[in-house]
Amino acid sequence: MEIRNHWRRDVTLGEDRSRSRNPNLLANVALIRSALLPLFTRHFPERSLPEIREHLHSRPGHGLALLHAS
């Protein structure tokens, strides 16, 4: 399951493009991204993950609001 989640985080959210090498930061960001993936599909059932990413790209606060509301 971890491999699938990592693949989804990487393809959808560009996880492997991170320039940070701080392991604590990377682990925390991975947790946030893992929490967001199921919320994306629940709140945007008619959109694909790349479409959701594009939608939230200009609204980063919306992703945080999804986390806060859940």
pLDDT bucket at 14, cuts 50 / 70 / 90: confident
Q: What is the pLDDT of residue 25?
A: 93
Averaged pLDDT for residues 32-51: 88
> CA 22, CA 58: separation in Å to the nearest integer?
26
**Quick one: pLDDT band at residue 1, thresholds 50, 70, 90?**
low
Q: Is the pLDDT of residue 2 over 70?
A: no
Which 3-state string (H, E, C) describes the chain? CHHHHHHHHHHHHCHHHCCCCCHHHHHHHHHHHHHHHHHHHHHCCCCCHHHHHHHHHCCHHHHHHHHHHC
What lies within 8 Å, CB to CB, of 70 at 6+ separation is: 35, 39
